[in-house]
Amino acid sequence: MYDETTGIGFEGGPAGCGPLLPGPGAESKPLRQQVFEHVRAAGRAARADVARGLGISAGSVTTLTSDLIAVGLLREIEGTSRESRESGRGRPPVALEVVHEGRLVIGIKLSDERHSAVLTDFAGNMLADATLPTIPIRKTAVQILDEMGELIDNLMTAAALSLSAVTAVGLGLSGLVDHDTGIVPWSPLLADRDVPLKALFEARFALPVHVDNDANVLTLAELWFGAGRAMSDFAVVTIEHGVGMGLVLNNRLFRGTRGMGLELGHMKVHLDGALCRCGQRGCLEAYLADYALAREASTALGRNARNMESPQALLETLFGEAKAGNHAARTIFRRAGRYLSLGLSNVIQLFDPELIILSGERMRYDYLYADEVLAEMRGLMLADGRVPCKVEIHAWGDLVWARGATALALSAVTDAVLG
């Protein structure tokens, strides 16, 4: 029987209702791991703090922490009695901290002009960093692995440590990256398609690696070390060579169904609009990314198309001209700013996050990030009584991305050790 009015059929007998859940899906982590992560998140915390923070009994905390101390994951800090309490009455708390030695992780951010790497301990403290300049051309997987080898060598030399001390690696690069399989279907850095980067890396360096899109990695940096730590739902938008976005929903990085990144840069903002490097028309990227500005710059500056100035230098010139009052140059930034407003307002309309973080080095072009742009963004949203979404601007360097990549490794190692 099929009910025409409701459109919902009953296939013989009671069909039931409600979502069909796949399994019992262990949603929440074991309490032991929660205790550990609470201490790490706080930096240091007394047992009583943990009990209050997690809402569990003091007795449980004693049991769990003594176990964690026994296996060498936590330890007590001597002489923490006096600090960190306003009224010093009662028995002073004994602070706990993560035993951060011994489980080191590396975070790597691959880029077209320079690769960056960071070494952190198990508490997330940065121990060393390294940078490797590189030629901005598409490379083979072997070339990229060679470069990563050199980068890692530099990093371990700077830290005066052996690579054998490292437990895991996190890796972020732009393009389409399948986090689950570690395969890179396409990346602007790679000449080949469908590169099994995880497998290649692990074969070469004999270290487990966790690969992800660079926008996701940057979002993890905010979630683990930055403004997003206390926030359950936020978006990170970044403008570099392309336009990327990462999204945290319910305190977790959201990756779509197919485990790939969210392609904000290829959101269409104009039917049959400007040509994008992806081959389509009207993508947000085609109005915002550096190549989009650069191609207009040569018109505005009257340069010859054969002039082989680097897009980077071209943009700097354009920015200078705009500041100096060149009208054509100004309209280029102006239009880009308006499209940025539009893109951001769309993100807010669709996701309704608590906060949007604009991040990336291009944030220096304040034409893009002026108050004017933010005001325009607010003007493009539905004017209803709700609290407007906060916006933060982080003009941070490449090391933040690499640090986000360490979070990828840190959480994997934590799950492995405590799961």
Partner DNA sequence: TTAATTAACTTCAGTTGACAAAGTAAATTT
Partner DNA sequence: AAATTTACTTTGTCAACTGAAGTTAATTAA
> Given candidates 2, 7, 87, 135, which one binds a second copy under the rule CB under 8 A?
7
Residue 84 found at the interface with DNA (CB under 7 A): no
- Under rule CB under 8 A, residue 270 binds a second copy: yes
Cα–Cα distance for residue pair 292/269, rounded to 1 Å: 14
The Cα angle at residue 48 between residues 47 and 51, in degrees rounded to 5: 90
Contact residues for 45 (Cβ-Cβ < 8 A; gap 6+): 38, 39, 53, 95, 96
Alpha-carbon span 398 to 417, nearest angstrom: 29
- In the list a second copy, DNA, none, the entry touching 205 (Cβ below 5 to 8 angstroms by class) is none
Residues 177-216 that bind a second copy (CB under 8 A): 185-186, 193-194
Residue window 2-31: x/- pattern of binding to DNA, with contact defined by CB under 7 A: ----------------------------xx
Kindly state whether residue 349 participates in binding DNA, applying the rule CB under 7 A: no
Binding span for DNA by CB under 7 A among 52-60, 162-170, 294-302, 333-341: 52-60
How many whole angstroms separate alpha carbon 343 and alpha carbon 237? 10
Among 63, 154, 158, 254, binds a second copy (CB under 8 A): 254
Q: Which single residue is written with the structure tokens 């640090």?
A: 403
Residue with token string 């085609």: 286
351 interacts with a second copy by CB under 8 A: yes
Q: Are 114 and 133 in contact (CB under 8 A)?
A: yes
Closest CA to 228 of 408, 373, 353: 353
Say which entry of a second copy, DNA, none residue 57 contacts (CB below 5 to 8 A, set by partner kind). Answer: DNA
Alpha carbon distances (Å) from 65 to 10, 122, 299: 53, 17, 65
- Shortest distance (Å) from residue 137 CB to DNA: 53
Q: Does 6 bind a second copy (CB under 8 A)?
A: yes
| Closest CB to a second copy among residues 229, 303 | 229
Query: Is 310 one of the binding residues for a second copy (CB under 8 A)?
Result: no
Judge contact between 97 and 74, C-beta under 8 A: yes
- SS3 state of residue 47: helix
Q: Does 92 bind DNA (CB under 7 A)?
A: yes
CA separation for the pair 399, 407 (Å, rounded): 13
Kindly write out the interface string for residues 127-146 of this chain, putting x where it contacts a second copy by CB under 8 A and - elsewhere.
--x-----------------
Q: Which residues within the stretch 53-92 sit at the binding site for a second copy (CB under 8 A)?
A: 54-56
Distance CA 72, CA 68 (A): 6
Which option in a second copy, DNA, none does residue 79 bind, with CB closer than 5 to 8 A by kind? Answer: none
Binding to DNA by residue 53, rule CB under 7 A? no
Q: Binds 64, which of DNA, a second copy, none (CB < 5 to 8 A, cut-off by type)?
A: DNA
Question: Token pair of 49, please?
Answer: 């703090």
Using CB under 7 A, count the residues that bind DNA.
Answer: 31
From DNA, a second copy, none, interface partner of 353 (C-beta below 5 to 8 A by class): a second copy
Smallest separation (angstroms) from DNA to the CB of 90: 2
Strands (E), 79-173: 95-98, 104-109, 114-120, 126-133, 166-173
**Dihedrals φ, ψ of 245, to 5°?**
-145, 145
Q: Binding partner of residue 324 among a second copy, DNA, none, CB under 5 to 8 Å per kind?
A: none
Angle formed at CA 265 by CA 176 and CA 394, multiple of 5 degrees: 100
Among 249, 313, 375, 416, binds a second copy (CB under 8 A): 249
Q: What are phi and psi of 306, to 5 degrees?
A: -80, -15
Positions in the binding site for DNA (CB under 7 A): 30-32, 46-49, 55-66, 81-82, 85, 87-95
